Structure 1
Amino acid sequence: MEPLRLILLYAHLIGFALLLGGAVAQYLTGKLRINAAMLWGATIQVLTGIALSAPLRDGDEPPAAKLAVKALIGLAIFAMAFFSRKREEVNRGHFLALVGLTLVNAAVAVFWK
């Protein structure tokens, strides 16, 4: 099961890179909108996050509270990206909140043991 967990973790990191990289690239254009990379990244993050929450390893399971917090933040990011994807431009606060939540979700994953 460890190889499966590592593949899922790798895909999860690719989703993070797409989400954050797409946001930075879009921010640098000056037109704040949800691009395809951001939407794909959010989708990959949610799907692989759900798969990673399954008990794939013996012992050393993450706390249920951590999984719940990460799931809530991940679903909020996905909803913010999905429902704003067709807008020509999104509010600056909305865009920056999406980026901020992405960084907070990564921080929860790294620092919450």
Structure 2
Amino acid sequence: MEALRLILRYAHLIGFALLLGGTIAQFVAGKLRINPAMLWGSIIQVLTGLALAAPLRGGGDAEPSPVKLAVKLVIAILIFVMVFVPWRRKRENVNRGHFIGIITLTLVNAAVATFWH
């Protein structure tokens, strides 16, 4: 079970890298478009986050609080929606504030995971 948890955590980090890396690459290039790395990163983040949280219902000291998990889920869903809607509508350009919002929420989600104990 521990190996599965580590694999899921690794995939979760890959999703984070795809999402943040894809977003920052587009932002720095000045072409504010939703790219496939951002889309797949957001999907991977939501799915692996749910999978990582699901088996934690057995109790124990290391189990994160349900409030923390709920906050992370809400943020992850917001990010997914912010990425999916413009991608689905095939928008050529996305507002600069929209991109900054994706970057900010991605970093906030990582901060919640790291600093909320």
Task: Write the letter of the residue equivalent to 2:85.
Answer: F
Paired residues in the alignment total 113
Does the alignment pair 1:2 with 2:2?
Answer: yes
Task: Write the letter of the residue equivalent to 2:42.
Answer: A
Counterparts of 1:1-113 in structure 2, within 5 Å, are 1-56=1-56, 59=60, 60-85=62-87, 86-113=90-117
For residues 19 and 3 of structure 2, what CA distance do their matches in structure 1 show? 24
TM-score by length of 2: 0.93
For residues 101 and 28 of structure 1, what CA distance do their matches in structure 2 show? 18
For residues 19 and 102 of structure 1, what CA distance do their matches in structure 2 show? 8
For residues 29 and 65 of structure 1, what CA distance do their matches in structure 2 show? 37
For residues 17 and 31 of structure 1, what CA distance do their matches in structure 2 show? 19
Task: Write the letter of the residue equivalent to 2:68.
Answer: K
Q: CA deviation at 1:55?
A: 2.1
Which structure is higher in helix share? 2
Structure 1: tracts of 5 or more residues without a match: none
Deviation above 4 Å: which 4+ runs of structure 1?
none
Aligned partners of 1:55 and 1:61 also within 8 Å = no
Structure 2: tracts of 5 or more residues without a match: none
For residues 93 and 11 of structure 1, what CA distance do their matches in structure 2 show? 28
Deviation string, structure 1 residues 9-54 (Cα, Å, up to 9, x no partner): 0000000000000011111221111111000000000000000001
Which has the higher mean CA deviation after the structures are superposed, 81-90 or 57-66? 57-66
Task: Write the letter of the residue equivalent to 2:108.
Answer: V
CA RMSD of aligned residues (A): 1.1
TM-score by length of 1: 0.96
